[in-house]
């Protein structure tokens, strides 16, 4: 699906972060040594949704270009695989997490660049969250070794 409106994007962010949070909550139960970091990621996912929603609800205005906020974003480019059935080893689990984070990072990066409206606050938060997810990739890679 193509996303261009602010509300469409906000909903997609919520779905993306929630799905990822659920992945980490399940994954945390699989490998004891990774529990803390995965739980912290899941918590942060929920905060990320709140941060985006706060920005949206505080700047949304009838006069700004909410319906024309973004250059087209295709949701199909940012689908994440959160299945755990085929994941057996610690490294496979970490690789799955890295793939998820890379996708979310790419979404926020592209989203931040695609804001063509005056809603700069949303662009700013997308750029910040792109960095957050990029940092996660580094952490996960370090753990993978």
Partner 1 sequence: MAVTTLKNFIDGEWVDAHAQEHLDVINPARGEVLARVPLSTREDIDRAVASSKRAFEEWRNTPPLARVRYLFRLKELMEDRFDELAKVQTREHGKTIDESRGETRRGIEQVEVATGIPTLMQGYNLEDIASGIDEHCIYQPLGVFCHIAPFNFPFMVPLWFMPYAIATGNTFIIKPSPRVPLSQTKLMELIEEIDLPPGVVNMVHGANEASNALLDHPDIEGVTFVGSTPIGRDVVYKKCGETGKRVIAQCGAKNFIVCMDDCDLEKSLPGLMTSFFGNTGQRCLAGANLLVVSEDERSYKRIVDAFIEAAANIRVGDGMDEAVQMGPLQNAAAKQRVISYIETGIREGATLALDGRNVKLFGSDPLPLDCFLNPSVFINCTPNMTIAREEIFGPVACVLRARTLTEAIAMIHSVPFGNSAAIYTSSGKAAREFRHEVRCGNVGINVGIPAPMAFFPFGGMKDSFFGALHGQGKDAIRFFTECKVVIERWF
The verdict on 65 binding partner 1 (CB under 8 A) reads yes
CA dihedral 94, 98, 104, 108 (to 10 degrees): 140
The verdict on 62 binding partner 1 (CB under 8 A) reads yes
Among positions 103-122, residues that touch partner 1 (CB under 8 A) are: 116-118
C-beta separation of 129 from 108 below 8 A: yes
In whole angstroms, the minimum distance from the beta carbon of 68 to partner 1 comes to 4
Question: b vs e for 11-41, b when ≥16 Cβ sit within 10 Å of the residue's Cβ?
Answer: ebbbebbebbbebbeebbeeeeebeebbbeb
β-sheet bridge partners, residue 3: 73
The verdict on 76 binding partner 1 (CB under 8 A) reads no
If the CB atoms of residues 64 and 84 are measured against partner 1, the closer one turns out to be 64
Q: How far apart are CA 73 and CA 11, in angstroms?
A: 13
If the CB atoms of residues 5 and 35 are measured against partner 1, the closer one turns out to be 5
If the CB atoms of residues 88 and 116 are measured against partner 1, the closer one turns out to be 116
Q: Contact letters (x/-) for partner 1, 6-25, by CB under 8 A?
A: xxx--x--------------
Q: Count interface residues toward partner 1 (CB under 8 A).
A: 25
């Amino acid at each position: 699906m193509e996303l261009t409106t602010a509300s469409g994007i906000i909903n997609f962010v919520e779905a993306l972060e929630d799905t990822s949070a659920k992945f980490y909550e399940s994954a945390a139960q699989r490998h004891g040594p990774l529990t803390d970091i995965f739980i912290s990621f899941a918590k942060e996912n929920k905060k990320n949704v709140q941060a985006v929603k706060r920005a949206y609800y505080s700047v949304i205005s009838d006069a700004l270009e909410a319906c024309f906020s973004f250059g087209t974003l295709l949701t199909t480019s940012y689908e994440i695989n959160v299945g755990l059935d085929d994941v057996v080893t610690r490294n496979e689990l970490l690789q799955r997490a890295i793939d998820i984070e890379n996708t979310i990072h790419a979404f926020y990066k592209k989203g931040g660049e695609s804001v063509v409206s005056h809603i700069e606050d949303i662009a700013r938060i997308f750029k910040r969250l792109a960095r957050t997810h990029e940092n996660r990739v580094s952490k996960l890679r370090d753990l993978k070794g």
